[in-house]
């Protein structure tokens, strides 16, 4: 049995970016958003990486993000599905095909988070070993309030109990695979599912530990996010 496997999801369309280019393929520094995400995993403790991409981008990504470009750990590029959870399940099955006896742990990461670090990836695997399931997260800094339907402020939400969830989200492989298989092959409802932690919590009952993330580990969703990532990258490369 292998130790650490990873799935990098690169199926976003980038509609909120205001561009026809999928956000994971947008330039960031001298490379692309996705390149930076994969580079972090290439430098990390992960042993193999499955890259999940849109169906019409499979061959392109094999050429651009495979061993010939220095990504020796990207050993499989597979087509994603209609929803995020479909793409994750495709990645989980691809990992299983790579190692018939399976991986002990799997980290699932959004390719649109280019500033993830090898240190955060290692920390997520360490906490998954201890707790079985963990998600990268950062404490919320802003004051939070509920809002009513008319746009008026309501009760304050206790800030010390609220965390912003990131990726990687890392689990015992068998735990994660069984949760996804139950949801997608067992006729269970996918309603309201937003991330991998919810799948594991809902369909196994396993508690998910919050693993301290990184404020720089932002997700590229809007043009402002890309500008912020470029600024962080310049500081990092000084």
pLDDT in tens, the chain (238 residues): 579 999 999 987 666 666 778 899 999 999 999 999 999 999 999 999 999 999 889 999 999 998 878 999 999 999 999 999 999 999 999 999 988 778 999 999 999 999 999 999 999 999 999 999 999 999 999 999 999 999 999 999 998 899 999 999 999 999 999 999 999 998 888 889 999 999 999 999 999 999 999 999 999 999 999 999 999 999 887 6
> What's residue 14's pLDDT?
61
In a domain, 140, yes or no: no
Please indicate, yes or no, if residue 158 is contained in any of the structural domains: no
> Is 153 inside a domain boundary?
no
pTM recorded for the entire structure = 0.94
Task: Give the distance, in angstroms, between the CA of residue 179 and the centroid of all CA atoms in the same chain.
Answer: 17
**Residue 34 domain flag:** yes
Q: What is the pLDDT of residue 150?
A: 94
Alpha carbon distance 194, 197 (integer Å) = 8
Does residue 105 sit within a domain?
A: yes
Domain with 25 in it: 2-135+165-236
CATH assignment of the domain containing 207:
3.90.550.10
Is there a domain that residue 143 lies in?
A: no
Compute the distance between CA of residue 54 and CA of residue 22 in angstroms, rounded to an integer: 10
Q: Residue 90 domain-assigned?
A: yes
Domain count for the chain, please give it.
1
Cis amide linkage into residue 168, ω under 30° from 0 = yes
Tell me whether residue 209 is in a domain: yes
Which residue from 14, 174, 189, 193 is spatially nearest to 87, judged by alpha carbons? 193
């Amino acid at each position: 049995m292998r130790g650490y496997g990873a799935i990098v999801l690169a199926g976003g369309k980038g509609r909120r970016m205001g561009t026809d280019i999928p956000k994971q393929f947008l330039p960031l520094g001298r490379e692309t958003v996705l390149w930076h995400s994969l580079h972090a995993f290439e430098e990390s403790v992960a042993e193999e990486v499955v890259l999940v991409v849109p169906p019409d981008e499979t061959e392109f990504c094999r050429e651009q993000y495979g061993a010939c470009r220095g990504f020796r750990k990207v050993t499989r590029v597979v087509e994603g599905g209609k929803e995020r959870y479909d793409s994750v399940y495709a990645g989980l099955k691809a990992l299983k095909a790579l190692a018939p006896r399976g991986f002990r742990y799997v980290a699932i990461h959004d390719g649109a988070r280019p500033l993830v670090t090898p240190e955060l990836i290692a920390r997520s695997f360490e906490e998954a070993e201890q707790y079985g399931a963990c998600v990268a997260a950062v404490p919320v800094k802003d004051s939070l309030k509920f809002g009513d339907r008319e746009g008026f402020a309501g009760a304050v939400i206790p800030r010390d109990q609220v965390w912003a969830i990131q990726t990687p989200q890392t689990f015992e492989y068998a735990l994660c695979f069984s949760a996804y298989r139950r949801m997608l092959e067992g006729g269970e409802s996918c309603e309201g599912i937003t991330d991998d932690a919810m799948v594991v919590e809902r369909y196994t009952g396993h508690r998910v530990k919050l693993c301290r993330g990184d404020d720089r580990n932002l997700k590229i969703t809007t043009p402002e996010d890309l500008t912020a990532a470029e600024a962080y990258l310049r500081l990092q490369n000084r």
